[in-house]
């Protein structure tokens, strides 16, 4: 018996969920979205991400499990499918205890602590000997992570889904239940998977007022400094961040950033951009030629994305709205890629429960 499934949203959450579900030929999947890979829009977080794997979930939480479960999948894709646009990259993390009460310091508190759970997940984890730490740095670690070229990876996911028979259509919905009537087979969908990110705040039938943005501003440059790096905070503001990551396959280097909660402004702030570039060069002088400052950066573009944060954490849950079975998978803040497979596995197992109940009801 065929399962008619609608995935609403074509960011990394919707595409990863559709990718897993499309591996079962019994699933007839329609992916519906206002924005698709190739678009750059303030309502679409996924293209703006770095994106790398720097775990932030607190030990013992569901978030920890989602990130832990995602690493093997990203590693396998990196090794088996170079065309997916992911590469391994050395990573350096610097922690300053004075950042621990700031928004950025709290966001990165698991990442920056000296004995994190992920030391047993990522390869080559080691603490930097204290004698080698720069002034002001309390501890530092290095490991091998991945960096994802989102402009290659998102279309790769679309390609995998299409190869497995999924159908992609542009559509905009005011109410989640309406998406059930837009399955390409012409019949009502058995289940709608809600992967609308920050728009779950305003989407009828969901209206989740726990959703809010954390604004992330970036500068994309052609310079390539080598390893990725991140610090626990900056001296420029409690909601500013410092990270550097070079994407795979010519995707340029992302200089970040900011973590501005409840800020919806989609226009790059050039003063913030200057601070981002300056502090990246301060911590990583090899970004530019010797003696150069910001003028040594070859800028591709400035960008702003809104991380879809949710008070109380990501929502992966079954629901019923106007008689339509829904599985929610939204609210992934700044970790949508590094938790993508873990969250999608959890959503897929809820979809299976919905479909089993449907089969039982028909017997």
Point out the annotated binding site for FAD: 196
Span interacting with ligand FAD, options 41-49, 84-92, 93-101, 285-293, rule CB under 6 A: 41-49
CB of 307 to ligand FAD, least distance (A): 5
Of the candidate residues 197, 225, 251, 342, the single one contacting ligand FAD (CB under 6 A): 197
C-alpha distances out from residue 243 to 90, 284, 294, 326, 327, Å:
13, 10, 16, 37, 34
**What whole-number distance in Å separates Cα of residue 12 and Cα of residue 74?**
13
Question: Can you say which residues are annotated as belonging to the binding site for D-dopa?
Answer: 334
Stretch that binds ligand FAD, among 48-56, 121-129, 184-192, 315-323 (CB under 6 A): 48-56
For the bound state, the minimum distance from the C-beta of residue 150 to ligand FAD, rounded and expressed in Å, comes to 8
Count of CA atoms in the C-beta half-sphere (13 A) of 140: 18
Residues 315-354 that bind ligand FAD (CB under 6 A): 330, 332-338
> Which residues, including other chains, have CB under 8 Å from residue 4's CB and lie 6 or more apart?
28, 183, 185, 187, 188, 189, 190
Question: CB of 330: closest distance to ligand FAD in angstroms?
Answer: 5
Range in contact with ligand FAD (rule: CB under 6 A) among 121-129, 197-205, 310-318, 348-356: 197-205
CA 61 – CA 50 distance, rounded (Å): 24
- CB nearer to ligand FAD: give 157 or 283: 157
Minimum CB separation of residue 175 from ligand FAD in Å reads: 9
Rounded to an integer, what distance in angstroms lies between the CA atom of residue 195 and that of residue 8? 6
Among 44, 168, 212, 341, binds ligand FAD (CB under 6 A): 44
- Shortest approach of ligand FAD to residue 88 CB, angstroms? 15
Q: How far apart are CA 232 and CA 243, in angstroms?
A: 9
Strand partners, 193: 7, 327
Among 49, 280, 284, 287, contact with ligand FAD (rule: CB under 6 A): 49
Residues 6+ apart with CB under 8 A from 335: 55, 56, 57, 63, 67
Shortest distance (Å) from residue 41 CB to ligand FAD: 8
**3-state SS, residue 25:** coil
Residues at the binding site are: 196, 334
Give the span between the Cα atoms of 101 and 109, in whole angstroms: 9
Query: CA–CA separation, 159 vs 164, rounded Å?
Result: 9
Q: Is 51 in the site for ligand FAD (CB under 6 A)?
A: yes
Least Å distance, CB 91 to ligand FAD, is 11
Site string for ligand FAD, 7-36 (x = CB under 6 A): -xxxxxxx------------------xxx-
d(CA 98, CA 27): 51
Pair 230, 259: CB distance under 8 Å: no
Instruction: State which residue, 108 or 337, has the beta carbon closest to ligand FAD.
Output: 337
Given a contact cutoff of 8 angstroms between Cβ atoms, the answer to whether 338 and 70 are in contact is: yes
Q: DSSP labels for 313-330?
A: --EEEEEEETTEEEEEEE
Alpha-carbon separation of residue 199 from 15, 206, 330, 341 (angstroms): 16, 9, 9, 21
Residue from 30, 52, 95, 141 touching ligand FAD (CB under 6 A): that is: 52
- Looking at the Cβ atoms of 325 and 347, the one nearer to ligand FAD is 347
- Residue 287 interacts with ligand FAD (CB under 6 A): yes or no: no
Distance in Å, CB of 199 to ligand FAD, minimum: 3
* CA-derived radius of gyration, the chain: 21
Please work out the total of residues on this chain that contact ligand FAD, with binding judged by CB under 6 A: 40
Taking CB under 6 A as the criterion, the residue among 96, 201, 307, 310 binding ligand FAD is 307
Which residues are at the interface with ligand FAD (CB under 6 A)? 8-14, 33-35, 44-46, 48-52, 171-173, 195-197, 199, 203, 216, 218, 257, 305, 307-308, 330, 332-338
């Amino acid at each position: 018996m065929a399962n008619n499934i609608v995935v609403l949203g074509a960011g990394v959450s919707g595409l990863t969920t559709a990718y897993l579900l499309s591996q079962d030929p019994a699933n007839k999947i329609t992916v519906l979205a206002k924005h698709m890979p190739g678009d750059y829009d303030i309502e679409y977080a996924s293209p703006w991400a770095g994106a790398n794997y720097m775990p932030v979930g607190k030990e013992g939480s569901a978030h920890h499990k989602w990130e832990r479960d995602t690493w093997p999948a990203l590693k396998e894709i990196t090794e088996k499918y170079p065309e997916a646009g992911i590469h391994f990259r050395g990573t350096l993390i610097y922690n300053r205890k004075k950042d621990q009460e700031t928004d950025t310091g709290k966001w990165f508190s698991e990442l920056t602590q000296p004995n994190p759970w992920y030391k047993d997940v990522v390869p080559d984890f080691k603490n930097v000997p204290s004698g080698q730490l720069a002034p002001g740095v309390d501890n530092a670690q290095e490991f091998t992570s991945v960096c994802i070229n989102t402009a290659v990876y998102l279309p790769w996911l679309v390609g995998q889904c299409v190869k497995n028979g999924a159908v992609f259509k542009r559509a905009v919905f005011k109410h989640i239940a309406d998406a059930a009537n837009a399955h390409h087979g012409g019949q009502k969908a058995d289940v709608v998977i809600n992967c609308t990110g920050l728009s779950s705040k305003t989407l009828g039938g969901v209206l989740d007022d726990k959703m809010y943005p954390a604004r992330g501003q970036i500068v994309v440059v052609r310079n390539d400094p080598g390893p990725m790096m991140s610090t626990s905070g900056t001296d420029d503001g409690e909601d500013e961040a410092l990270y550097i990551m070079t994407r795979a396959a010519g995707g340029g280097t992302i200089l970040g950033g900011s973590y501005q909660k409840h800020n919806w402004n989609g226009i790059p702030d050039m003063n913030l951009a200057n601070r981002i570039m300056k502090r990246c060069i301060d911590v990583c002088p090899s970004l530019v030629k010797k003696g150069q400052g910001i003028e040594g950066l070859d800028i591709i573009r400035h960008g702003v994305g809104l991380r879809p944060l949710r008070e109380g954490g990501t929502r992966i849950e079954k629901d019923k709205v106007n008689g339509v079975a829904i599985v929610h998978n939204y609210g992934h803040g700044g970790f949508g890629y590094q938790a993508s497979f873990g969250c999608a596995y959890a959503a897929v197992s809820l979809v299976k429960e919905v479909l089993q109940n449907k089969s039982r009801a028909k017997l």
